[in-house]
Chain A
Amino acid sequence: MTDFLGLYNYWIVIFLMMTGFYIVIARENLIKTIIGLNIFQTSVFLLYITMGKVTGGTAPILKGSHSGESHGAESHGAESHGAEHGQELHAAAEGHLDSGVEAVTEIYSNPIPSVLMLTAIVVGIATTALALALVVRIREEYGTIEEDEILEMDRNS
């Protein structure tokens, strides 16, 4: 049960992914299709960000006074980012950190998935912008954005 609830982020990802995919397949309205495509892409952003998050971890920003130590922790985090649920990384990091409140702040989330998603968001925006521009042109040519009506017009012409 805890496994089930503990992975709730992944359930949200799957739910969004299937919702978006269903909208893409089932909707005839071109704008709604594009919205579905956006939901589909957003679910992937969430998937990546979820896998980069380490329980209790903070943003990986170096502090001047701990430069040597925190650098070690950061590169450690960067190398073992294969951790599936975060706990593994947490356990791995524990060996590195001794004890005390101060040490806890040196658990870092893996920044790479977030960075990758910045790129993917840019790609998503470009795709949406291009798709909307195409819909505008389709609307100018056909006077409608309902796919079945457009296909009907094409068959008759």
Chain B
Amino acid sequence: MIEQLPVLVIVIPLMAAPLFVLIGNRKLVLLLTQLVCWTVFGITVSLLSRMQYGPISYELGGWPSPYGIVYNVDYLSAFVMLFVSGLGAIVITYAPKSVEREVHHSKHSLFYASYLLCMTGLLGMCITGDLFNVFVFLEISSLSSYALISLGKTRRAPLAALHYLIIGTVGATFFLIGIGLLYQMTGTLNMADIASRLQAVESSRTMLVAFAFMTVGLFIKMAVFPLHTWLPNAYTYAPSVVTCFIAATATKVSVYAFIRLIYVIFTPQFAFERLPLDSALMAFSLVGIFVASAAAIYQTNIKRLLAYSSVAQIGYMLLGISMSNVGGLTAGITHMFNHALIKGGLFMVVGCFALRIGSLKLEDLRGAGKTMPLTSFAWVVGGLGLIGVPMTAGFVSKWLLLTSALSLELWPVAVLMLLSSLLAVVYIWRVVEILYFSPASHLAKTAKEAPMAMLIPTYIVIGSTIVFGCWTVYSAGIAHAAAESLLGISQMGGVQ
């Protein structure tokens, strides 16, 4: 049983989803979905706790490694799976009241089934060691997230989902073209095997084309600045629960796939020394951080404000990755985790507002600090984390990023990072001012405090941003181990 854990992470939610469609009873399905999510979370915890004995490699169906599909669990994949399944579980615990209000009753069991499929896809992208498998899981998670987004109440939701579908499919197809070209050059789909064979063909033009296609494809999925246009609408019009889950996990898993692509399959030498991807990445992330943060300041919808902030935060992760040393990579991976908590928590706060006030326009939220004090306070705490105030999780990752930038003597980057945090102060403060220091709107005046069933999960996530701000053994510590093993792998020429 224990040695089957890597495959159970995928099999349990994948098998549960169609079963839940057949069951159809929405109360029962909700309960079972929560059970499945927490079980998967438990499995990922036990997988991560096993990492001290070395990475796990699981051969599906007993087929030996380069021919069959392999599931690899190492520090990085176990860590990403842990927070994906953890947030998946906590969001689904938070979900019932919000889903009740925002999704039509007849669609509840389908909603929960799609939610599980989306989680399966994201976890699969993390665990698999087979490149074509990454594409399949990417499409599983994408297709189910398009469906989830289209369930939003307004008529703009299907349109936002369709736009995301078109752009997302183009991105995934780019990724597929890249896989095909890599396969053409190496004759294998196993990531470690590709890495060991790449050096012989490194200088060919096919490799450059393959790398370009895969990078652009993943950039679309990550919503890197110039390719982010699908994200604000998709996040804004999706049901609150969906936004919580997707904003917290989906883009991070694409960042994870990108890290694998650069550090395990292609080497950093190829991406950063032969190609100028590091300076390009740095430029894109810095421009993205500033443009998206500035755009966030001018938004009138609180969800859209956070969506633009997400685009900016992806920039910080890529900034860390582009530094290509242990410090930068640790900062990037830590920020994936911390931002998943912070943004997940903030979107959960927004979900509480959506439930009680019914509108997410900033003008309707005026004065909600008096009628919904606990929810509003959660916004303040989460917002401090997003800005990166000391004692919060956001500070840890930004501090790591800053020290890494300084150790590489990238002074302009360090200064720009500090300036960009000021932009975050502006857009967070704008909402705080509206919540606490504005005369109440008629919607906020009659609003009640959010129910405990939603507040408790929200506070668990928001509280954990404080915990991981003071105690970093299990965030930055694991990220450091993951970064070291990634760079160790690439120095040995991709042999695992």
Contacts and interface: CB of A to CB of B under 8 A. Distances in A.
Interface stretch (B143-151, B222-230, B284-292, B439-447): B143-151
A137 interface: yes
A33 to B, nearest CB: 6
Contacts of A80: 187
Contact of A130 (B67, B146, B159): B146
- Chain B: interface residue count, which band? 20 to 34
Contacts, number: 83
Given A130-B146, A134-B150, A134-B159, 11 more contacts: A33-B166, A40-B173, A41-B169, A41-B173, A44-B173, A78-B67, A81-B187, A113-B180, A123-B136, A123-B139, A141-B158
B177 interface: yes
Interface string A109-140: 00011001001100100110011001101100
Contact of B165 (A84, A112, A123, A134): A134
B162 interface: yes
B143 A82 contact: no
B54 to A, nearest CB: 29
Contact of A150 (B67, B150, B159, B166): B159
Nearest to B136: A119
A71 to B, nearest CB: 14
B132 interface: yes
Contact of B176 (A120, A137, A154): A120
Interface of A: 21, 24, 30, 33-34, 37, 40-41, 44, 47-48, 51, 78-84, 112-113, 116, 119-120, 123, 126-127, 130-131, 134-135, 137-138, 141-142, 150, 154
A126 B132 contact: no
Interface of B: 67, 132, 135-136, 139, 143, 146-147, 150, 155-156, 158-159, 161-162, 165-166, 169-170, 173, 176-177, 180, 183-187, 189, 197, 206
Contacts of B186: 82
A52 B139 CA distance: 23
Contact of A30 (B162, B169, B185): B162
Query: Interface on chain A toward B: helix, strand, loop, or mixed SS?
Result: helix
A156 to B, nearest CB: 13
Given A44-B180, A47-B177, A79-B187, A21 B170 contact: yes
B180 A142 contact: no
Nearest to B204: A84
A82 B187 CA distance: 4
A154 B180 contact: no
Contacts of B176: 44, 120
A111 to B, nearest CB: 13
Contacts of A40: 170, 173
B173 A134 contact: no
A104 to B, nearest CB: 23
A116 B156 CA distance: 35
Contacts of A113: 180, 183
Contact of B143 (A116, A130, A154): A130
Nearest to A25: B170
A84 B162 CA distance: 37
B165 A138 contact: no
A80 B183 CA distance: 11
A141 B136 contact: no
Contact of A119 (B132, B166, B183): B132
Contact of A138 (B132, B143, B162): B162
A127 B180 contact: no
A116 B147 CA distance: 25
